Every structure is written in C-alpha cells, then in structure tokens.
Amino acid sequence: MRSDIRACSNSHRTMLAGGTKIVSLIVADILDAARDLASASEGAQLDPPLPIIADESVNTCRLPDWETVLSDSRRWGISAHMVVQTRSLLRGAYGRDQGEAIRSAAGMRMTVGGGEGASDSKELAEAFGDVEVATYSRDASGSVNSLSSRRQATRTVADTRNIPPGRAIVLPSQMPPVEIELTPWWRRTDAEQIQRAARDFDDPRAHDLPLAGRRP
C-alpha cells in the first residue's frame, strides 16, 4: 500500500476515494509520502505542486490535524483545500477551539451565500469595515446649516448571508475581503476537457466494469 501511495503521489493521476475513515488514512499516507518526496527534491518542494482537495471534508476526510496540514503543507509544495458546508459543522466535528484553529490556518477562505449563521455572517460583514458618510442638516428654507459625518458599514449581515449565486467572498490572510465572480465550469477554456473526463468517468469500459455507466 505504501509503495502504491508513493507512486500515486509522484504521478499526474487523480485519486478519487470515499468513506470517512479509509479516506482519512489514505490522505494521511499520501501527505506523508508527499513530504518524503519533497524533502528529497530540489528546493524541498514538489514540482508541480500536489493538490489535496477534500470536498465535504467533515464527512469524508476528517484528518485529526487539519490545522497543521493547511498551515504547513505549502512549504512542501502541497496545495491543501478543505471544503465544509458551514463553520458550525467544522466546530461540531472538531470542537470550537480546534475548529477555529483550522479556519485560521487556511491561507485563504472563500464563502458562498447561505453558508454561515447569523453571528458568523455579522463577523464577515464587519471584516469589510466601514466608511465615513457626510450628513447634512437643512433648515425650513432648505438651506444647509450644518454638516457632520458618521460611520456606516459597507456590508450588512443580510449582504454577507445572501450572497447571490455565482458570487463569493474571499478572505485572504492579512488582507481585506473581496467579493468575486465565480466562473461556471462550462464557461472555462478547458470545458471540453472536463466534459471528456466526465464521460470517461461514466464509461464502465474505462474501469473494466460490466455494468452501465452511472455515477455513484
């Protein structure tokens, strides 16, 4: 198994795996093998970088040390991505303190609409900061008789909670948040390649399966 993991880590193939405990063990083994390969490489980094993408990681890849993986793997040339539905699920799986440590360890965080609770949406809105807004006071004749200023939030809780489909908020470490537009896969320049890969995945002949192609 160890040699197979090393071969996979040193190739350009993609590994798809399912089942929480077995996936966690496999990914941990891949990370160990990747670090060994990186330490023996020039510059102590993998080239090209190895992407580790854990979709629905709370349910599929519950590594006990995700905070270390996210913070430490970049120096080895490992690009680790952890996807969770909500921040509360992360806290529920790891506890509040470790859940926050995992979130803080991420070099970049991306949030889409409806994925956070009220308190987390408020925290996200506050991250955008506020601006100074001029306030004018007029007398009965309509003339301006006073000018003052007040601070106004640039985003409300409703704004951050109801991010429209196709958009997301990105929070880079030590930088202000920014709202971005997401590009659907069918509009990407490699859309045809993605379609071919999906057809190959669904083709039982590509996997020596006797059954008709069907996604799991």
pLDDT value for 190: 94
Euclidean distance between CA atoms 135 and 148, whole angstroms: 5
Rounded percentage of the chain residues whose pLDDT exceeds 90:
37
What value does the mean pLDDT take over residues 43-47? 88
- Residue 153 pLDDT > 90, yes or no? no
pLDDT per position as a tens digit, 95-128: 999 999 999 999 899 998 876 777 888 888 888 9
Other C-beta atoms within 10 Å of 169: how many?
23
pLDDT value for 3: 47
Q: Where are the alpha helices (DSSP H) in 128-183?
A: 157-161
Tell the residue number behind the tokens 């920014």, with chain if given. Answer: 178
Which structure tokens are listed for 126? 């506050």
pLDDT value for 43: 87
143 vs 120 pLDDT, higher one = 120
Name the residue type at position 118: A
Q: What does DSSP assign to residue 116? A: S
Euclidean distance between CA atoms 66 and 135, whole angstroms: 48
What value does the mean pLDDT take over residues 80-88? 91
- Residue 214 pLDDT > 60, yes or no? no
213 vs 111 pLDDT, higher one = 111
pLDDT per position as a tens digit, 169-205: 999 988 889 999 999 999 999 999 999 888 887 776 6
pLDDT value for 212: 47
Which structure tokens are listed for 211? 């059954």
pTM of the predicted structure, to 2 decimals: 0.71
pLDDT value for 210: 56
Instruction: Report residue 182: phi and psi, to 5°.
Output: -90, 140
**Mean pLDDT rounded to a whole number for the chain:** 83
- Residue 2 pLDDT > 70, yes or no? no
